[in-house]
Structure 1
Amino acid sequence: MLVGELVAEGKLSLDAPAPIAEWHRANDPRGAITLRMLLNMSSGLQHTEVGDPVEASDTNQVLFVSGTQKMAARAIGVPLEARPGAKFEYSSLTTIILAEIITRTLTSSSDTRVRAEAYRSFATQRLFGPAGITSAVLEFDGAGTQIGGSLIYMTLDDYGRLGQILLAGKAPDGTQIVSPDWLSFMKTPSPDNPEYGGQLWLNRAGGRDPRPALFPGHGPATLVSCLGHLGQFVIASPDQNLVLVRLGKTQDDTAAFAALRVALGRVVERVPATR
């Protein structure tokens, strides 16, 4: 959503090379990575989201072990494992790169506190404030980069308000927060995974993972969701004028998680369409 604000202002461009200076040195193939590819999780950057054993996960290493002071630098510094735009791979670190792009666009300062405050103020002015969200707490790494892939806290009610924005891009009073064009982009299946849009999961079949992220065939195909760690869902269904928030912990490699997904699909399916 915040990237979309900067695109609307002309400060970022969806199909231009991503403004990461480290990738634009001579003969660096990462210079071909666009902002769209990052948003669609198809940058081609080398990454392991969930390793076996778990400590082999790149995300866990950066969040909790050796990358905590400069998470974006670690995420930016990896080589390619695929041609940019050719392969979908979910990556929490890609969203940290997007948070770093936002920060660099807002300020040229290298001061940790200045960088963090620039991001926090922008999020409050453009997103949280207009939506009536008052409880949001954002975590930052040691360099002042918002940890974009996780570690954002809100009350259940405020997560509901975030979900309401995903219905039509509007605040409760009708104020347009996210433009219709940008919201449409977020909800459009990416070229490399029909189950994923622009940083949103979609209720579509044919995803790259044999286990669906949502519940295709149950509820509208226009339904979208933010998926948190271990069973957190913010579900938005415009056709039903429905927002459903589930906060809790369910191990995602268990039968209980599969049952949770089925149960959420049944709840959504029973809500009538409003059109």
Structure 2
Amino acid sequence: MIEPSRRRDPGEHARTHPGRTRWMTGFMLSTILLAVIWSKLELSADKVLQYALLPARMGQMACGHVAKTVCSAHYVSGRSLEDIDARGDVISLARGICRVELFEAGPQAPGPGVRATGAGGLFEAEAYFQGKHGCFLAPASGALSGRLFPAGAPISRHPAPGALAAAGSGPDAWAFANDPAVAWPHGDAGVSAADAAAYAPVQARLRREFAELAAADARAAALAGGASSAEADAAADAAAASATPGTRAMVVVHRGRLVAEAYAPGLGPMTPLGGWSMAKSLTNAVAGTLAFEGGCVRLDAPVRPSVPEWWPAAPPSAGHSVYCPGAELGESLLPAAAPEHPPEAEAQAEAATATAAHRHAAVARRFAMSPAPAAGRWAADPLGQMSLWHLLSQSSGLSFDESYGLLNDPARMLFLEPSSAGYAAALEHGGPGTPAVPPGSRFLYTSGNTNLAERVVQTRCFGRLVGEAGAACDPVPGSQAPAEAAASALAGGSLRPAGWQVDYEAYWGHVHRSLFQPLGMSTAVFERDAAGLQVGSSFAMMSGRDWARLAYLFLRGGEWVTADGRPGARIVPREWVDASTRPTPVSGGGHGLHWWTSATADGDTGGDVAWHKDLPKDLFYMGGFEGQLSMVDRASDLVIIRLGKTKGGFRTPKGTSLVKDVREMAAAAAAVVAAVADVVV
């Protein structure tokens, strides 16, 4: 059980639990265990070391999971510790190992947060809350400022507590609220009375998925029918048993209107809830806004320049005394040129449709919808052949164990390592500096691909290469100065670039300005790791209504809608949406670019994803661990959101049944609405 102790300042914790004692105890225990295993099993030294460190890593990951999960649920979702415990947010094993403690912001803490400790302080993890940035898990070393990584890895610096707020650009500067009197999606007025009546069967179907709501409805119906109290209790128990365990929120949008929604007791339409891997589709959307606006994101963008862990130990060319990847790769690190438009005289002569067609063609050329990476000095290298397309299509060729448990790659990446992308890059794949298989030859769904893609986007659009002393090695992306000029400025020196320096606040501002605010996603939080990188694989939280807004944007092909229902601003290019929601051949059907699809590349349903065989073939969706689902039905103009914590997920026959039921009920309700409108006219 999660039992919070009294709140303390982190400084007091440091005095009462000296790190020296904690690590000395851990060292002694590991040494004893090492000796026992070595003598009994006669294993090699490296194997013994792996086994000896396993309990410590598992305990640290468990406490990291507890601290991060409780921090987000408590501070972002606004839920009590009792509710978090009752709903089982924290896995049972971790609950048994780690004890929770809340603390306030202080001299050593950039915000209030959660500390989880286990084994008498041997295992410890801290997660900090930073407003609209959500919660981030501090590195196990406790270093919150200065360089978090050695030379050759990305640099990240956390601002001093209060520095952002003082500058007027802190995370809470982006907070906003929708008008509660305006209809969705521009406001949060809820379901209208007319739609509540017409879509009552849909609402009733949603409530059947919640144990508490289903039981209440069954009891009321039984009593209304004259049943005894015992019979009503039996009906309630049966309804609760048939519900889907752990359902927390459901939202249905039909023909651009919010027509039904239901929430578990204690949660509501403005409660941000985690989507786990639905964050991957958010990562895709953010990349799409950057491809549209500035051209700094291309699907053929090479991955290797953004991954210092993959840089060679020595310069590929002897022409530079300073290792400067920007100079080695030339223009490949710089954003693509703006799309070409026809000369003004020709544009005036062309019809509006022809002009639009020309611009769409120019945009498509800029996106280069091809898996082949841009030409560069490393193009012949196996890792140099990898592009952003390979990461988004889950065909990078990199190895990653996507199993979910405390000993697998996702848990270690999310709850132990300070850099999610750094962990994915540092894994042993096919050997040092080599993918397990050639990029584009195998579909392997992994969260590591997503966080590497997030790094590619951020470095290309908001980063610059810096050296050991902080000197720039390459022009800031966006400038037109040739990379060779930057190299010549450093000629003759011994400066070696330490990695990328990313303006994370500029990135965060772009996400809000170009996506969250235009769509009215007022509850959306995109959380980051200790390196400052948004964890695009897993850590996005928002209300069911806001998840529906993101899904509705892609249903509309990337174009938003005005308050009176007319076409509005284009948020993501249509070409990007089409490429993202179209199944790729390498996936065997069922996956596009960080969106799942129910169709195969040849238009049939099924493919390698068994759940798709019973679905209509024109669907695409976001999906996440423990039953998160955002289904988009183009043909029916329908969005279905389901959030919860369900063992085994929701992509099951029960999920298929819900999708089909809501689809049919929504169509029937729309027919009723249309008939009523005809009568009124």
**TM-score calculated relative to the size of structure 2:** 0.37
Q: Deviations over 1:148-171 (max 9, x none)?
A: 011100011111111110111122
Query: Counterpart of 2:555?
Result: 167
Letter in 2 for 1:157: R
The alignment covers a number of residue pairs equal to: 264
Larger Rg, first or second structure (1 or 2): 2
- RMSD over aligned CA atoms reads 2.6
* In 1, Cα distance between equivalents of 2:301 and 2:549: 32
> Which residue of structure 2 aligns with residue 229 of structure 1?
625
Determine whether 1:7 maps to 2:286.
Answer: no
Q: Is the Cα contact below 8 Å between 1:251 and 1:257 reproduced in 2?
A: no
The match for 1:58 among 394, 398, 409 is 409
- Secondary structure of the residue that 1:175 maps to in structure 2? strand
Aligned to 1:239: 635
Match of 2:421 among 59, 72, 75: 72
Write the distance in 2 (CA, Å) between the matches of 1:180 and 1:123: 19
1:181 counterpart = 2:567: no
Larger relative helix fraction: 2
CA distance in 1, matches of 2:302, 2:596: 24
Correspondences of 1:5-154 after superposition (within 5 Å): 5-8=289-292, 9-18=294-303, 19-22=305-308, 23=310, 25=312, 28-50=381-403, 54-65=405-416, 67=417, 69-78=418-427, 79=429, 80-108=435-463, 115-154=503-542
Q: Residue 94 of structure 1: CA displacement?
A: 1.1
Determine the C-alpha separation between the residues in 1 that align with 2:501 and 2:657.
43
The answer as to 2:647 corresponding to 1:258 is: no
Q: Once the 2 structures are TM-superposed, how far is the Cα of residue 114 of structure 1 from its aligned partner?
A: 6.5
1:268 Cα deviation from its structure 2 partner:
4.6
- Kindly state the Cα deviation for residue 267 of structure 1 after the two structures are TM-superposed: 2.7
Structure 2 unaligned spans of 5+: 1-284, 317-379, 430-434, 471-499, 563-567, 600-604, 671-681
In 1, the alpha carbon distance for the partners of 2:644 and 2:553 equals: 22
* Structure 1 residue 216, shift from structure 2 partner: 3.7
Change (3 A) 1:46 1:119: same
Gaps of at least 5 residues in structure 1 are none
**Identity in percent:** 30
Contact kept in structure 2, 1:116 and 1:140, CA below 8 Å: no
Aligned amino acid, residue 38 of structure 1: L
In the superposition, relative to structure 1, how do residues 160 and 33 fare at CA in structure 2: closer, same or farther (>3 Å)? same
SS of the residue corresponding to residue 11 of structure 1 reads coil
1:24 shift after superposition: 5.4
* Alpha-carbon offset, residue 223 of structure 1: 1.3
Secondary structure of the 2:508 match is helix
Residues 87, 192 of structure 1: 8 Å contact kept: yes
Task: Report if the CA contact (8 A) 1:140-1:147 is conserved.
Answer: yes
Distance 1:24 1:208 in 2: 35
Q: Which AA in structure 1 matches 2:526? A: L
Structure 1 residue 265: deviation in Å? Answer: 3.0
| AA in 2 matched with 1:104 | T
Shift of 1:191: 2.0
